[in-house]
Amino acid sequence: MSEGKKVVIVESPAKARTISRILGPEYYVTASMGHVRDLPERTLGVDIKNGFIPIYQETKKKVIQELKAAAKGASHIYLASDPDREGEAIAWHVKEALQKSTKAAFSRVVFHEITKSAVNNAFQHPADINMDVVDSQQARRILDRLVGYKVSEILWSKIERGISAGRVQSVALRIVCEKEREVLAFQPQEYWNLSVNLEVEPQGSGKKYQARLFQIDGKKADIKTGEESNKALESIRGGHDLKIANNEIKPKKRYAPPPFITSTLQQAAGPALRFSASHTMRVAQGLYEGVDLGSSGPAGLITYMRTDSFTIAKEAQEACRAYITSSIGAEYLPDTPNFYKNAGRAQEAHEAIRPTDVNRTPKDLEPFLSPDQLKLYTLIWKRFVASQMRPAEQKLTTVDTAVAGADSRIFTFRTTATETVFQGFLKIYDFLDRDKDDKTADDADEDEFMPTASLSELVKDQKVLLLDAKSDQKFTEPPPRYSESMLIKALEANGIGRPSTYATIVNTIQQRKYVDKLKGKLIPTELGFKVNDFLVANLGDLFQIGFTAEMELKLDKIEEGEVQWQKMLEEFYGSFSGWVGEAKTIGAPEKDKAEKIVHLFDGVQTWKAPEKKGRRTYDDKKFAESVKSQFDKNGGISERQWSALIRMSAQYKDQIPDLDSKLSELGASQPAEGAAAGGSIGPDGQPVPPEDMGKYKEVMELLAAVKPDEPGAGRGGRKFDDKKFILSIKSQVDGGRNLSPKQINAVKKLTAKYKDQIPNFEDISVKLSLNEPAAGADGKTEAPSNVNVEEIQKILTSLSTVTAWEQPVKKGFRTFNDKSFFQSLEKQFNAKRNLSAKQVAALNKMAGKYIKEQN
């Protein structure tokens, strides 16, 4: 089949057909169908102790057999996979799988477009596999496996089986969740827009235009209520001396956008074509690998679609300029070619996404392309041609009209209009308005005020007539949710992911059911919030946006030969293993308590018969022995195991002497009747009533939506982070785990602290009994005062007006500071809605002292 021939190995059959036609019968072109080796599915597959060596398995045995057969008698093997990290890794894996089966030499050939000139040039300059690029891909794969494998294991035990985390996907989920919380916390604010219909004197001139209120007495108009609006309208309608206050005309140039890179193609195809990121890349892949053009055969129509470089080959740029001159007009061609600056670490050797032949217009290719291929090719073709055209020349006219109101206020109304004097690149590229994913309310309002007369004709001090004045009630709108396009833009802006991974990241969080797409917007599911909140609360350092971006930069440095891949992984794993170790022990008992609980069942002789539920068999004896064995080996047990053993103890009460006292020693108590059968069990071993779980779940949802204070230092220099604490408690409640008295007190304090950000605070206040005495750390209620809440509030309000406090007095080792003491009581009351009897007595004494003095 390939005896004595030169064998070329690419990824896909479509790419193989196109290249085969270019190279001719001297070459045998075949496909690897993607990766031929990978890490194992069901095990970690990384030898951490011996330098993070990956343990690869063949994933396509049949394909490898076919490749070996082709390679056996070959004279030379060319590895022509894609020009990126994954492509370089595929080439290396193929060579590793085949080199023992052939004596042929291996060469790496790289091209960024599948055209005759590009392919022939690549084969004239074969090279070796770039091991720095391979090492970078291996490091990324191992990083992703370590994070995914070990963190998913924790999620299984803490939330539910079968869910997963990912090094980059979880950061994308975090970005979506944080945006959703901004939306949920948003409080609409009322405002009013005032507009007028005007006509240039004399009446009947026909020179009419509309304008919107811009300023009142030289300051920005800000009308918040209907009452203010009505007063302003009354003043305007009764006003006088209406005239043009200013007419400013400014020339403006609108420059052509650069040709597409991966991220901008996905961002544009979303709103313009209604393509998802993954669909955009599938269609682009087909255009790159080759489309059958009838008698001409298959041809690659665009350059490689995974790129972050705006670079354009000189030949392609010259061909585009020639096309503009001959087909659009010489006046649209700039004197010198347009060049666009790349981002800091863009791959300069790569090109932007462009047509391989600019003379193949969308109209010419229409008979050969599917509808989606035609849409995407048209977008790419027009963007490329536009990128080499002259800027559009526009004229921006701004007209201000002043009205002297009846109440002596000066109202200034503004109208703007943009007139295109020279189309420039806009003649060919008409997708710009659709490149923007979201139009704000203010943008939408602008459309209502398009002028009906030529504004440039209006002259300063020209008199005008008021035809009509009206007001519209508006409400500020929440920040827009992410679409796929805008999430990709956010990922790129934060340095997360790379061109080859954007679509996969966005697709993965949807496939995992962490995010739903509704009307084009990404909204976290309940499961998505649960997973995100747990990860942020317990593995926040790992899933920080900045940390993830830093890891991407390190992968780039490996590719550039600046960093050794195993050293980078070793440094990462040092921190990572510590984070994971801490996360695994969340809620777990201390070692001495764990030891006592695992030995609680030592005297049990008669065990319940194993019970089968679905595919699983529940065996108390095996479970108790398994947990004990784990403790003997590791010196600890998990929170779930702790709760399960406490719950199970009720079933063997008759065989465990003094169960109540033993559980009491552990800080737990015997579960109530029926608790062993299921339900939510907290650290105290008590089942949580369903209604209480629902109450705290509602409260934590509201607290998760607030904008918390920045972390600050508390007593003893300890740093308090409200956001982290809220997410941690929310994760605990979402997992059905009870709250301790201390945690309940803390939740009540935070609810009171952020009451201004909680829409239904009064209802929540009743549910949490915020006006009732708070429990102490031991769960017991502090002795309440006999004074009601309103009376305490009255005293505090009076004292808040004191301006002259006595200087602090030192007595022995203590310093008595009235002002600080008052502030402490005020803060406690605002948080707990309660003071002790002693505190109220001290407050009354202070009030008698200062309020009498002030009076």
How far apart are the C-alpha atoms of 587 and 743, rounded to whole Å?
A: 13
Helix, strand, coil in percent for the chain, rounding step 5:
50, 15, 35
| Cβ-contact 78, 107 below 8 angstroms | yes
Shortest CA distance to 11 belongs to which of 28, 27, 35? 35
| Distance from the Cα of residue 347 to its chain's centroid | 25
CB 479 within 8 A of CB 183: yes
The single residue listed with the structure tokens 């004494």 is 845
Indicate the residue type of 497: G
Using omega within 30 degrees of 0 as the cis cutoff, is the peptide bond preceding 202 cis? yes
**Residue 538, CA distances (Å) to 118, 638, 720 in order:** 51, 15, 15
The values of phi and psi at residue 120, to 5°, are -60, -40
What is the DSSP code (8-state) at residue 42? S
Report which residue type is found at 461: D
- Structural tokens at position 738: 């009870």
CB 98 within 8 Å of CB 68: yes
Where do the H-state alpha helices sit in 685-721? 690-704
Strand partners, 302: 355
Ramachandran category for residue 329: left, alpha or beta (phi over 0 → left; psi -120 to 50 → alpha): left
Residues 599 and 649 sit within 8 Å (Cβ to Cβ) = no
Pairing of strands 291-292, 240-254: unpaired
Angle, CA of 240, 241 and 243, to the nearest 5°: 130
CA distances from 487 to 263, 480, 707 (A): 10, 11, 22
Residues that are catalytic: 304
- List strand residue ranges (DSSP E) for 166-205, in order: 190-200
Any residues with CB less than 8 A from the CB of 713 and at least 6 apart, and which? 719, 720
DSSP 132-176: HHHHHHHHHHHHHHHHHHHHHHHHHHHT-TT----TTHHHHHHHH
Half-sphere exposure of residue 552: CA atoms within 13 angstroms, side-chain side: 24
CB 59 within 8 A of CB 38: yes
For 788: left if phi > 0, alpha if psi spans -120 to 50, otherwise beta; the answer is beta
Alpha-carbon gap, residue 35 to 93, rounded angstroms: 8
Contact, 594 vs 640, CB < 8 A?
no
User: How far lies 466's CA from each of 16, 66, 402, 447, in Å?
Assistant: 72, 84, 11, 21
In 687-825, the DSSP E strands lie at: 712-713, 719-720, 809-811, 814-816
| DSSP letter (8 states) at residue 539 | S
* Angular region, 536: left φ>0, alpha ψ -120 to 50, beta rest: alpha
* Contact status, residue 497 vs residue 552, Cβ threshold 8 Å: yes
Distance of CA 67 to the CA centre of its chain: 41
Could you tell me which of 779, 777, 791, 778 has the C-alpha nearest to residue 833?
791
Question: What does the alpha-carbon distance between residue 8 and residue 28 come to, in Å, rounded to a whole number?
Answer: 6
Q: Is 467 helix (H, G, I), strand (E, B) or coil?
A: strand
